[in-house]
Structure 1
Amino acid sequence: MPNILILTSVVGGGHVFRDIAIAIELKKLLPPGYEFIFVSGDNAFQMLSNEGLKVEKIEGVSFPTNLGTIDFLKFYLILLRSEFIQSFQLRKLIKKYKPALIILDEFFFLTDYCKTWKIPVVFMCDFIGVPRSPFLHNPFRSSLEAFFDWLLFAHLPKKADKWIYIGDPDHILRKEWRSRINSKNILAVEPITKLQYTEPPSRQTARLELGFKNDETVLTVTVGCSGIGEYLFKAVNEAVPQLQQSINKLRVEFICGYGIEPEDLDFILQRGVNVHGYVKNIEAFYAASDVLVIQSGITTATECLMIGTPMVAVPITGHWEQEHTAKYLKKKAGTLIINGEDISSNVMADAIKRLVKTRLKKESYFKGNGHNIAAKAIADILFQTSDD
């Protein structure tokens, strides 16, 4: 039985669902008998397990974060360390499953390793360039960023059998980077989320499913599955008394995901606030809400754009991907942005009150075919390999 290993990034939960969407579509295109084995760590491993998928556990990554900020220099070094350890774990998996193909969702240093085993490999990523700090300001960080950028654009497209950029071209940070998606062996597909294989419910259906009343004003705060975001819950919780003075029948839902245990929150929940851990039907909360407060993970942001609920986006300070995604959201849909370092109860209360009576006009931002195109490209590699 031919096996396909899908290494899902251990950083953030959005990678899980785009990989599942691609796998579902790929299975339709391939002959019967292919088995898909997912490989991940930390919260992503748990999410894949909860979806009932076959998954192997590997080394995870701990975020060096504090109150909505991140030290990306440390994060780069942590990535280097983790992928070094993961290479040894991957070796065992290759011997165990003898895969016909390996898909790497944002594993930057394992492509060459896979090729040494003469295994076809697909690399996927939702960014196509790395911003560089001024060299004189921080020579070490600048050099490290230049190395990552070279690896991402110059090296990996030559080594991988296919390099797939997953995202909106409008989300690419710089004009010169947008030209990269036209380069040889880089395939650009639009954002892929859970909504590609799980149609979101209507507002009325979602409220019925969740037990929300039609006359309630629902505010949902979600921080993904990275384990970062307690500071955001705390600020909104402190804003609730102000909000209740001007918003009748306010209902507040906190969704912690994995990495933040609801019972470990170090503050007392205000009346009207409900807290959840990981929920499998997050799209129902999006659809049922009047306002969403999110961090600026690209998958969460994309799903909110697809559903059309007004949102406040709070990017993690120093996290260049999230900070850029916030700018993208503001330009794309007029999303209200608050920097992570500026969070307070008053700031959050003012932002939420501004949006509570707003309804976004739902627009067709995306065609919804990114998973189809990605799966077709991957299947072609397998067909070509079998012909050879």
Structure 2
Amino acid sequence: MGNRNIIIASSGTGGHIYPGIALAEEFKNKGYNPIFFISNNTASIKILKNSGFEYIEFNVSGMPGGISFLFITFLVKMKFSFFKALIKIVKLDPLAVIGTGGYIAVPVLFAAKILHKKTFIHEQNAIPGKANILLNKITDKTFISFQSSEKYFKKKNTILSNYPVRKNILSVSKEKILRELKFENGIFTVLVFGGSLGAVKLNEVACETLLKLSFKNRIQVLHITGSGNYIKIQEKIGDNPDYRVFEYMHDIGAAYAASDVVVCRSGAGSVFELKALDKPAVLVPYLYAADNHQYWNAKEIEKDGKVIIIEEKNLAKESLSNAIYALKENIKSNTAESIIKFPRKLVFEEIIKCMKS
């Protein structure tokens, strides 16, 4: 069969890594050997360890603003990562190198280009990151999730491919996961999560709101807090049997399946997963996301009618409870036929086509 290695460069939190994992699963199913190049932060390592895929760590961090000692450190790390990537790419001799986001992609894709490897990037967000705007100038193809982000790239090498949603998210039995959670079927259930690292205000307001709502009508809550908020939220809910708190859930598909309504951030991954599952949601964009891209991600699917956006500055118990009630009232009694919506063009198929050209 020969060498079937494909390198996927990704760093940061789940928003960049999970689409890489979705691609890796498809490549593996087709007989390829995906290998991740990741930054050595805790979130990246934890996600990759759970995925079971091979990975190599790089000492790379996000770019600080302004000229400072931290900026010089950032440049030094990028330089060393570039030379490490050169050595590893020569050794692995991959068929292609794919960047799915984060600054690790910059030294890795530049090294791959120098070594005349096929290079690709995938941009998840409506407003692309600076790293991908730069890399678009040197890579063979750029894959985008939203049509609106095309204007930021060279049109000739840009392909609208949508977002590579992990298949296991689309195939979870609701009844099975409710039994495992010791939840009752038929009781209105809300899922809350704030991303890989959690979100302090979102966690606290959601918890207070849902505890108050549960006094009026029985509801069940599945709350994924992130590492920094777990203890505080657990203390707030006490021994409430209808409120389950988790620090982290690797199988987010199970959490989606259990829920009727979701309250979460609007990273590209969450947005496309909600869209694929046809799941009603209250989206609270992360206020400090680069170029406010989470807000624009949310706006892209707001027109579907199943999403209510609450900006963080407006997030309060009243606004959140009103949004949850509005979505509850609009839930259709039978959505079984429309629940799975696969992208019209899968990224991995386009990459394989480009690799062979």
Shift of 1:261: 5.6
Aligned equivalents of 1:380, 1:206: Cα separation in 2: 38
Q: How does 1:1-388 map to 2 (within 5 A)?
A: 1-10=3-12, 12-29=13-30, 34-41=32-39, 42=41, 43-59=43-59, 61=61, 82=74, 85-96=77-88, 97-100=91-94, 101-106=96-101, 107=103, 109-110=106-107, 111-127=109-125, 129=127, 148=130, 152=132, 156-165=135-144, 167-169=145-147, 172=148, 178=150, 183-194=155-166, 196-225=167-196, 227-248=197-218, 250-257=219-226, 259-260=227-228, 262-263=230-231, 268-269=236-237, 271=240, 272-319=242-289, 320-360=292-332, 362=335, 363=338, 366-368=341-343, 370-371=345-346, 374-384=347-357
SS of structure 1 residue aligned to 2:266: coil
Query: In 2 relative to 1, CA 228–244 (structure 1 residues): closer, same or farther, beyond 3 Å?
Result: closer
SS of structure 2 residue aligned to 1:159: coil
Query: In 2 relative to 1, CA 276–184 (structure 1 residues): closer, same or farther, beyond 3 Å?
Result: same
Asked if structure 1 preserves the Cα contact closer than 8 Å seen for 2:193 and 2:224, the reply is: yes
Note the aligned Cα RMSD (angstroms).
Answer: 3.3
Letter in 2 for 1:211: K
Aligned equivalents of 2:5, 2:280: Cα separation in 1: 42
Asked if structure 2 preserves the Cα contact closer than 8 Å seen for 1:228 and 1:260, the reply is: yes
Query: In 2 relative to 1, CA 125–286 (structure 1 residues): closer, same or farther, beyond 3 Å?
Result: same
> In structure 2, what is the equivalent of residue 134 of structure 1?
none
Letter in 2 for 1:44: S
Shift of 1:82: 4.9
Shift of 1:307: 1.8
Query: In 2 relative to 1, CA 237–367 (structure 1 residues): closer, same or farther, beyond 3 Å?
Result: closer
Aligned equivalents of 2:211, 2:11: Cα separation in 1: 39
Shift of 1:79: 9.5
SS of structure 1 residue aligned to 2:84: helix
List runs of 5+ in structure 1 lacking aligned partners. 65-72, 131-144
Letter in 2 for 1:358: N
Aligned equivalents of 1:187, 1:312: Cα separation in 2: 30
Query: In 2 relative to 1, CA 340–190 (structure 1 residues): closer, same or farther, beyond 3 Å?
Result: same
Aligned equivalents of 2:163, 2:111: Cα separation in 1: 28
- What does the per-residue CA deviation read over 1:214-269, in whole Å, with 9 as the maximum and x for residues that have no partner? 243211101121x1412111112222342023212x22221134x53623659623
Query: In 2 relative to 1, CA 197–84 (structure 1 residues): closer, same or farther, beyond 3 Å?
Result: farther
Shift of 1:337: 1.3
Shift of 1:113: 3.6
Asked if structure 2 preserves the Cα contact closer than 8 Å seen for 1:6 and 1:38, the reply is: yes
Letter in 2 for 1:332: D
Aligned equivalents of 2:76, 2:344: Cα separation in 1: 34
Shift of 1:209: 4.1
Which structure exhibits the higher relative contact order, with contacts defined as CA atoms closer than 8 Å and separated by 6 or more residues?
A: 1
Shift of 1:17: 2.7
Shift of 1:118: 3.1
Aligned equivalents of 2:212, 2:114: Cα separation in 1: 60
Query: In 2 relative to 1, CA 221–197 (structure 1 residues): closer, same or farther, beyond 3 Å?
Result: closer
Aligned equivalents of 1:230, 1:120: Cα separation in 2: 41
> In structure 2, what is the equivalent of residue 67 of structure 1?
none
Aligned equivalents of 2:71, 2:255: Cα separation in 1: 32
Identity of aligned residues (%): 21
SS of structure 2 residue aligned to 1:118: coil
Shift of 1:342: 1.6
Aligned equivalents of 1:202, 1:98: Cα separation in 2: 39
- What does the per-residue CA deviation read over 1:271-316, in whole Å, with 9 as the maximum and x for residues that have no partner? 3432102212211221221221111112112212222332111112
Q: Count the aligned residue pairs.
A: 338
Shift of 1:47: 0.7
Aligned equivalents of 1:181, 1:297: Cα separation in 2: 20
- What does the per-residue CA deviation read over 1:69-116, in whole Å, with 9 as the maximum and x for residues that have no partner? xxxx68xx9899757624523532442433323211124633334322
Query: In 2 relative to 1, CA 128–201 (structure 1 residues): closer, same or farther, beyond 3 Å?
Result: closer
SS of structure 2 residue aligned to 1:184: helix
Aligned equivalents of 2:73, 2:266: Cα separation in 1: 26
Shift of 1:9: 3.0
Aligned equivalents of 1:214, 1:369: Cα separation in 2: 33
SS of structure 2 residue aligned to 1:19: helix
Letter in 2 for 1:377: E
